[in-house]
Amino acid sequence: MAQARGRLYGLLLLCFSCKWVSTAPTEHLISSLPGQPQVSFRQYSGYINVDESAGTNLFYYFVEAQSNASSQPLALWLNGGPGCSSIGGGAFTELGPFYPNGKGDGLRINPYSWNKVANVLFLESPAGVGWSYSRIPAGYRYNDARVANESLVFLLRWFQRFPEYSERPLFLTGESYAGHYIPQLALLMARHNGRMSRGAAAFGFNLHGILVGNPLLNYGVDTSATYSFLWSHGLISDNTYKGVASTCDFRYGYTGQNPDDASKSQGKKAHACPNFLVSARAEVGAFINMYDVTLDVCAPPIVHQALLLHKLMGHLVETSKEGSDEVDVCIDHELTRYLNHPTVQRALHANLTSLPYAWEACSDIVDYKYEDQLEDMLPLLKDLVKSRVRIWIFSGDQDSVVPLTGTRSQLTTLAHHLRLKTMIPYSAWYANGQVGGWVEAYEESLGLVYATVRGAAHMVPYAQPERALILFSSFLHAQPLPSRSS
C-alpha cells in the first residue's frame, strides 16, 4: 500500500522536478517563530501522513540553507532514543539555526547551524515522539523495521511536497539510536532504488551518504564500553569495574545476564552482575550527565527556583548568556517551556489535534520492541560500504552511554574485515587552531571515516557546535577533516 503510494508520488515528483519550480507547501511555511531573530532563509513545518489506516502523522521541521538553498544538499536528521525528539534534540538544542534563549520565551542564533552548508530536515519519528501521533493505540507500537518503513514513506511524500529537492544529493544524519534507524533506512532506500532500476518504482533516492554520531551499533560491545569508560574516567572503582567485566555479558541486554543462566543458577552467582551494576550506579551518583561526564548538570534547585520566580514575576531568570560560547546545561528546560507555549505551536503548525499531553524531549508513549536494540548493525554497514554509500561515524569523546572506545573498535573491525585501505591513519584533526578530535579514514573517496570530537557530549553539536559543523561540512563534500592547526 505504502509502496504503491510511494510510486505514485514518485511520478508526480519526477514531473515537478523536471520543471524545477518551487512548489513548497505554503501552508507549511513558517512566517516567524515567537521571539525569533530575523533571518533570510525559509522554514517549514507540519504533518505528513505515513499510514492512513492507523492515522499516523509524522511532524517535521525543515530549514532551508542560509544561502544558495537551491544548490545545497539535503540532510535528514534523526535523533534516537528510541522515542526522542529530533525537533527538541537536533533542531533546537544541537544543530539547527536557533537555540532557546535563557528565559525559554524566545530564540537566539546558533552561529554553527548546519543550515549554513545544507538544507536540513528534522523528522519527529516514530509517532508518539513530540507532536507526531497516531489515531489508534496500535499506531504507537514500533520496531526497527516499522520505523524504517514509515521514514521511507515520509520521505517519499515529503519529496512530493518539496519536489525541487528530489534530485538533490541526500544525506542521512543522526545520533544515538539513529545508529539503528539510519543504516536500516539507507538499505531500504537502496532496495527502493533497485525497484526503480527494474522499472517497478518511478523515483529513486539520490542518497550520497550517512553520518551518525555516538551510534548504538552493537549493544554488547557498546555497553561493555560504557563500564570501561566509567572506570577509565574515574567514575567507578577498580573493584566494581573488575566485577562488571568478569560477570556481565551485555549481549543479552542491560542486565548483563543470559536469561537462561539467570533462571537456572541460584543465589549469589545469579545476582553477581546485577549487584555490580547497582554498585556502579551508586558510585557514579545521581549528579552526573552520563552523556557528558565533564559537563556540569542543570542544578535542580536552580531550575525549581527559576520556575517559582517565573510564577511570581511572569518570566524566568536568565540562565544562559546571549551569544555565549559556554554550553547552556539548562537548555532542555528552556526549550520544553518554549515548545509548550501555544503561540509557538501555532507558528509551527504543530499539535493541530490537541494532544492530551505536553511536548517532551523524550516520549514514554512509544511502545518500542526493545529486543531490536540487541541487533548488530555491523553487517548492515558492511552492505552499505559495498554499495558505495559514504559512511562517516563519529563519537563525542565525553559520552559514557555510547563511548568512543566501543564505536572505534567496531569501525576498526569493519575496515579490517572488508580489507579497506587506510587513507588517513589515526591522527588529530583541527578546528579553530585547536585539536577537534582524532580521525581514521579508509578508501580513497573517504567512503568510511571514523572521527572523535574532543570535549563533546553524546549530543556532539550541543557541546561542540563549531567542531560539529566542520565535521558535517567535511562529510558533505567528502573532504578530509582539517589536518593542520592553522
Catalytic residues: 176, 399, 458
Residue from 33, 75, 236, 469 in contact with a second copy (CB under 8 A): 236
Rounded to whole angstroms, the Cα distance separating 136 from 334 reads 31
Rounded Cα distance, 249 and 223, in Å: 9
**Segment near a second copy (CB under 8 A); pick from 72-80, 103-111, 384-392, 429-437:** 429-437
Should residue 356 be labelled a site residue for a second copy when binding is judged by CB under 8 A?
no
CA distance 9 to 192: 13
Residue 249, classed as helix, strand or coil, is: coil
Q: How far is the CB of 442 from a second copy (least distance, A)?
A: 13
Q: Which residue's CB is nearer to a second copy, number 89 or number 406?
A: 406
Part of the chain binding a second copy (CB under 8 A), chosen from 67-75, 93-101, 231-239, 358-366: 231-239
When the beta carbons of 189 and 381 are compared against a second copy, the nearer one is 381
Q: Does 479 interact with a second copy (rule: CB under 8 A)?
A: no
| Interface with a second copy, residue 333, by CB under 8 A | no
Check binding of 437 to a second copy (CB under 8 A). Answer: yes
* Cβ distance to a second copy smaller for residue 350 or 481: 481
- When asked if residue 433 is in the footprint of a second copy (CB under 8 A), the reply is yes
> Residues with Cβ < 8 Å from 114, sequence gap 6 or more?
75, 77, 95, 96, 120, 461, 468, 469, 472
Paired sense of beta strands 422-431 and 434-442, if any: antiparallel
* Long-range CB contacts (within 8 A, 24+) of 246-249: 247/272, 247/273, 247/276, 248/224, 248/273, 248/276, 248/277, 249/220, 249/273
Binders of a second copy among 242-281, rule CB under 8 A? Answer: none
Our CB check for a second copy shows the closer of 101 and 289 to be: 289
Cα–Cα distance, 356 to 446 (Å, whole number): 47
- Distance from chain centroid for Cα 315: 31
Q: Which of 404, 414, 448, 457 binds a second copy (CB under 8 A)?
A: 404
The neighbour count for residue 257, using CB atoms within 10 Å, is 22
Give the binding-site size for a second copy (rule: CB under 8 A). Answer: 49
Cell of 453: 570530537
Any residues with CB less than 8 A from the CB of 393 and at least 6 apart, and which? 211, 212, 213, 215, 407, 411, 449, 450, 451
Asked if 408 interacts with a second copy (CB under 8 A), we say: yes
Instruction: Tell me the β-bridge partners of 76.
Output: 121, 172
With contacts defined by CB under 8 A, name the span among 53-61, 176-184, 384-392, 447-455 that binds a second copy. Answer: 447-455
Alpha helices by DSSP H, 164-237: 178-197, 219-232
Q: Find the binder of a second copy among 251, 275, 454, 473 (CB under 8 A).
A: 454
Of the candidate spans 10-18, 145-153, 448-456, 469-477, the one that interacts with a second copy by CB under 8 A turns out to be: 448-456
> Among 9, 61, 229, 250, which residue sits at the site for a second copy (rule: CB under 8 A)?
229
Which region among 37-45, 75-83, 107-115, 427-435 touches a second copy (by CB under 8 A)? 427-435
Rounded least distance, CB 465 to a second copy, Å: 15
* Interface with a second copy, residue 452, by CB under 8 A: yes
B/e letters for 30-59, b = 16+ CB within 10 Å, e = fewer, are: beebbbbeebeeebbbbbbebbeebebbbb
Output phi, psi for 123, to 5 deg: -110, 130
Closer CB to a second copy, 23 or 409, in the complex: 409
Check residue 323 for interaction with a second copy (CB under 8 A): no
What is the residue type of 324? S
The pairing of beta strand 141-142 with beta strand 448-453? unpaired
Residue closer to a second copy (CB basis): 4 or 286:
286
Interacting residues toward a second copy by CB under 8 A: 228-229, 231-240, 282-285, 287-288, 293-294, 296-297, 299, 301-302, 395, 397-398, 404-405, 408-409, 412, 425-428, 430, 433-435, 437-438, 440, 452, 454-455, 485-486
